[in-house]
């Protein structure tokens, strides 16, 4: 079992920044890939970013590339999502997820490959 707890969400004006954190427990953190997803009101959950288990390979949705940065600190069992130049349409609940079994080395963009999910943190971007 892996437990994930996100934090760092809140209300920010358009163009502002937020840094989300996700602390993991229960398994050796460096043994699995991590991803961030988001779900806006009335929409499906979508891929935002992923990072491999060693932290040296990342991948982003086109919509956030160049503005968001995913990183991880395996010593602290924590994955981060730095979000800059936020837009109102990025208002959503943001979730971190762990890919423990499907593709633990690299992760994927498919939410179905992730075994464990956090409870989510709300990000609201005002215009």
pLDDT in tens, 28-84: 999 999 999 999 999 999 999 999 999 999 999 999 999 999 999 999 999 999 999
Pairing of strands 121-126, 92-99: antiparallel
Element (H, E) at 40: none
User: Which residue is it, tokens 């939410």?
Assistant: 111
Is pLDDT of 114 > 90? yes
- What is the residue-averaged pLDDT of the chain? 96
Q: Which of 68, 64, 61, 66 is nearest to 17 (CA)?
A: 68
The model's confidence at residue 1, banded by pLDDT at 50, 70 and 90, is confident
Percent of the chain surpassing pLDDT 90: 91
**Poorest-confidence range of 8-22, 48-62, 98-112?**
98-112
């Amino acid at each position: 079992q892996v437990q994930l707890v996100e934090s760092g969400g809140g209300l920010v004006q358009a163009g502002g920044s937020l840094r989300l954190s996700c602390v993991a427990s229960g398994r050796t953190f460096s043994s699995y890939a991590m991803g961030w997803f988001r779900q806006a009101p009335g929409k499906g959950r979508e891929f935002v970013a992923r990072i491999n288990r060693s932290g040296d390979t990342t991948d982003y949705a086109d919509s956030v590339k160049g503005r968001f940065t995913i990183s991880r600190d395996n010593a602290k069992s924590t994955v981060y999502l730095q979000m800059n130049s936020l837009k109102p349409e990025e208002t959503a609940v943001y979730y971190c997820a762990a890919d423990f079994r499907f593709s633990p080395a690299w992760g994927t963009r498919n939410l179905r490959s992730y075994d464990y999910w956090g409870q989510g943190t709300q990000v609201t971007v005002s215009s």
